[in-house]
Structure 1
Amino acid sequence: MVYTNKMKVVYGTRILGLHGQNFSYLFNYNLHGLESIKINNKEWLYRMPTPTFWRATTDNDRGCGFNIKSAQWLSADIFRKNKDIKLEVDNHCFSTIPDGGKSNVFSNHEFASLVKITFNYETVTIPSTQVALTYTIKANGELKVALHYQGRKNLPSLPVLGIRFIIPTPAIHFDYQGLSGETYPDRMKGAIEGKYHIDGMPVTPYLVPQENGMHMNTQKLFITRNTTQNNTDHILNPFSLKIQQSDLPFNFSLLPYTSEELENATHIEELPLERRAVLVIAGCVRGVGGIDSWGSDVKPQYTISAEKDYDFSVILNAK
């Protein structure tokens, strides 16, 4: 296929496809999200990216009862209600999504310079609130992912607010530009700004698995793999995905487990075998506390109020 300086847009039944020289993105209207990120013919999604609101309970969370007070955010992390979808192609806003028979009006030769698609969700909290994931795609394959959280009164404090990406196979290493070591809002003073290389996806070996592995104030992140789920890929050279800040630095963790898998294990040997990578891009992170033997709550400046609006974004592209 010959590409111009625009990307090809495929208006399919239930699917919007965007294709360029070295990328292919698929958005699923029915499943309400981004279904596939293929860069240089390598798939980077095992599950659709979703808003995430829960981190595995820490010893301090248990000690101060935070996990009980904010338990409904665990349900919101697992379940959500799909609302509407908004689609804009080269400044044309669709009044209705071109799904099913509505897609038949388009040819097989549709191209665009810029596509923006927003998936709106409603949380299953009481009261509920609204969250939106917006994807903005340029013709060169640059993919900007932005989250908007609408503040709502009478909701408990959030454990984390971010976007979770589940990657098909484990990372062999990752490199990032930001703060050294594991950092949290109330554990940053000893960190040093720089560029760092981490082999594998290390998990802090707590006796009882809990939240770990966060990196604050990051400018760039490179995730590298050398395996895929494609049986025809026998010997692979390492390949990478680049995540970089959009407007402000971002926070991230890259682990072999979801927060629910960590939450469900009472001892480290109960964790499953590593088989994929779980990337959390966090706009807001709760502190870890530990002020007086894991009994007091985190200081107010290190909590996440559910009553405020939040916006953050990152940019994904090939390394």
Structure 2
Amino acid sequence: MATLFKNGEVVEEKSGRISVEPLSEGTFPLMLQIPEEPGEYTTRISFRLKEDTAWAAAGHEVAYGETATERSAPKALRSGKPEIIRGWHNVGARGENFEALFSILHGGLVSYKYKGREMVKSQPKPNFWRAMTDNDLANLLPMRAGMWRNAGLYSTIKTGHGYGGTICDVNETDHSLVVTYTYHLCTQPQKDCFVRYEVFADGEIQVNMRMDASADVGELPAFEMLFTMDADFDCLKWYGLGPEETYMDRCHAKLGLYENKVADNMANYLRPQECGSKMGVRWASVTDEEGCGLMFLTNGLQFSALPYTPHQVDTAEHPNELPPALSTFVRVGEQMGVGGDDTWGALVHPEYHLDNTKPMEITFSFKGI
């Protein structure tokens, strides 16, 4: 069966029968034509049994392959500019249906309201840690990478002489407000992480996070932004690989549109550990039952939404030791792989590490829906 998808939606399906002798190859024409209209088109070929067998019924998929083709559209130009409000302790931007507030005194995005409703429970922060797996514990990753755990937990925002003699740089462009923070990380040697927010008139906020080379601190488990939302935002929908969790070294999955509950992404391991990640995510939404929440435009980054932080998961020895779920924690960025070749000491393969011998950088955006 051949299926053509556009941005995750089925456009066309065709089926046919082919026959190839054992230990031989065959070439067959593709039954689908990719349109020229803008969008991401995925062509998937699925090989299925045509008859019942002793081990599976007719129609059972035994193999598949897919490829994606991008038809680009001209980039839309930004228009308008948010209203910008400057105060002694905060700087804000607002427009139709949204308000964003950044702290000058303490730093960070402290409020993002959409249609009057608060979307962020506490300020988003850089995160460099994922919960340890059994494989990680066996190969002593916490010993080698432990400084990164505290790097995000205890980071402090750099003081300076920017706007108002404060701790952030505030600038305006023709179409946006730009606020940049420098985080001092709790590492030795000490590293800095730079987070830049750009607020546009339609309520979209583009986030850029970057850090200089940091291999002298140790292996980097994660490089991402961590958002805290209210627990009512418990519905996840994404366009990326799925439907099961995927990681850098565990990403043989189909590109498509998927949805589930945030709590469903917690794997029922005997000991809670890293779980729930989505690879190759183009966009994801985290909403309440009415569809109100945040849309993340993630440019193929890794994404997860769980009821717990990596640190809460790490400290629980059994699922019943996890606290009541009071928040939804969204993480956008990159992570190292989760497995070696065994669970008694093998390391994650080098190609599935984050290469922090060079500068790291991610860019994504979010807006209210």
Whether these two folds match at TM > 0.5 is: yes
Q: Provide the rounded CA distance (Å) in 1 between the counterparts of 2:153 and 2:320.
A: 24
After superposition, where does 1:83-102 map in structure 2 within 5 Å? 83-84=158-159, 96-98=162-164
Q: Following TM superposition, by how much is the alpha carbon of 1:146 offset from its aligned partner in structure 2, in angstroms? A: 1.0
After superposition, where does 1:185-264 map in structure 2 within 5 Å? 185-189=248-252, 191-202=253-264, 203-226=266-289, 237-245=290-298, 248-264=299-315
After superposition, where does 1:11-22 map in structure 2 within 5 Å? 11-22=86-97
What secondary structure does 1:212 align onto? coil
Q: Provide the rounded CA distance (Å) in 2 between the counterparts of 1:111 and 1:159.
A: 35
What secondary structure does 1:184 align onto? coil
Which of 273, 279, 282 aligns to 2:324? It is 273
Q: Provide the rounded CA distance (Å) in 2 between the counterparts of 1:21 and 1:111.
A: 19
8 A Cα contact 2:82 2:199, kept in partner: no
Q: Provide the rounded CA distance (Å) in 1 between the counterparts of 2:363 and 2:215.
A: 24
Q: Provide the rounded CA distance (Å) in 1 between the counterparts of 2:145 and 2:262.
A: 32
Residues matched between the structures, number: 284
What secondary structure does 2:216 align onto? coil
1:313 to 2:360 alignment:
no
1:121 to 2:190 alignment:
no
8 A Cα contact 2:340 2:349, kept in partner: no
Larger radius of gyration: 2
Residue 257 of structure 2 aligns with an amino acid whose one-letter code is K
User: TM-score normalized by structure 1?
Assistant: 0.84
Residue 263 of structure 2 aligns with an amino acid whose one-letter code is M
After superposition, where does 1:54-65 map in structure 2 within 5 Å? 54-65=129-140
8 A Cα contact 2:281 2:300, kept in partner: yes
Question: Which sections of structure 1, spanning at least 5 residues, go unmatched?
Answer: 86-94, 101-109, 227-236
**Against the structure 1 CA distance between its residues 263 and 293, is the aligned structure 2 distance closer, same or farther, given a 3 Å change threshold?**
closer
Q: Following TM superposition, by how much is the alpha carbon of 1:175 offset from its aligned partner in structure 2, in angstroms? A: 0.7
Residue 304 of structure 2 aligns with an amino acid whose one-letter code is S
Q: Provide the rounded CA distance (Å) in 2 between the counterparts of 1:53 and 1:111.
A: 31
Q: Provide the rounded CA distance (Å) in 2 between the counterparts of 1:72 and 1:200.
A: 29
Look up the match of 2:245. Answer: 182
Residue 335 of structure 2 aligns with an amino acid whose one-letter code is V
What secondary structure does 1:120 align onto? strand
Look up the match of 2:146. Answer: 71
Percent identity for Structure 1 against Structure 2:
28
User: TM-score normalized by structure 2?
Assistant: 0.73
RMSD value, Cα: 2.0
Q: Taking CA–CA contacts closer than 8 Å with sequence separation of 6 or more, which of the two structures ends up with the larger relative contact order?
A: 1
8 A Cα contact 2:214 2:356, kept in partner: yes
Q: Following TM superposition, by how much is the alpha carbon of 1:17 offset from its aligned partner in structure 2, in angstroms? A: 1.3
